[in-house]
Amino acid sequence: MSVGDDLRLDTALLTSDVAEFEEALSHGDAERAAELYAAPFLDGFYLTGATEFEHWVDTERARLGQSLRTGAGIIGH
């Protein structure tokens, strides 16, 4: 599905590990979230000459890592 300049997955038709991770955290299931977080977001995936994409990936990696640490209650440990 496309909304303006954004491209979004229709989660009724297609799921993703990121969506499942965020759903687990939203339900307080830190153990399931940790199981789903196998590696940083798109770890090892790069597009040459795609600076904006790389910035977005870096931002998402940081956000998801922070979500894991917060959801798992390991902030400051």
In a domain, 76, yes or no: no
pLDDT score for 75: 45
Place of tokens 């590990």: 17
Each residue's pLDDT, cut to its tens digit, for the chain (77 residues) gives: 556 777 777 878 888 999 999 999 999 998 999 999 989 999 999 899 999 999 999 999 999 999 998 886 654 44
Containing structural domain, residue 10: 2-71
In a domain, 51, yes or no: yes
3-class SS of residue 6: strand
pLDDT score for 70: 87
In a domain, 58, yes or no: yes
Distance of alpha carbon 51 from its chain centroid, rounded?
19
Distance CA 28, CA 13 (A): 24
Q: How far is CA 3 from CA 10, 14, 39, in A?
A: 12, 17, 29
In a domain, 8, yes or no: yes
pLDDT score for 1: 58
In a domain, 77, yes or no: no
What residues contact residue 2 under an 8 Å CB cut-off, 6+ apart?
8
- What pTM value is reported for the model? 0.75
Count of structural domains, the chain: 1
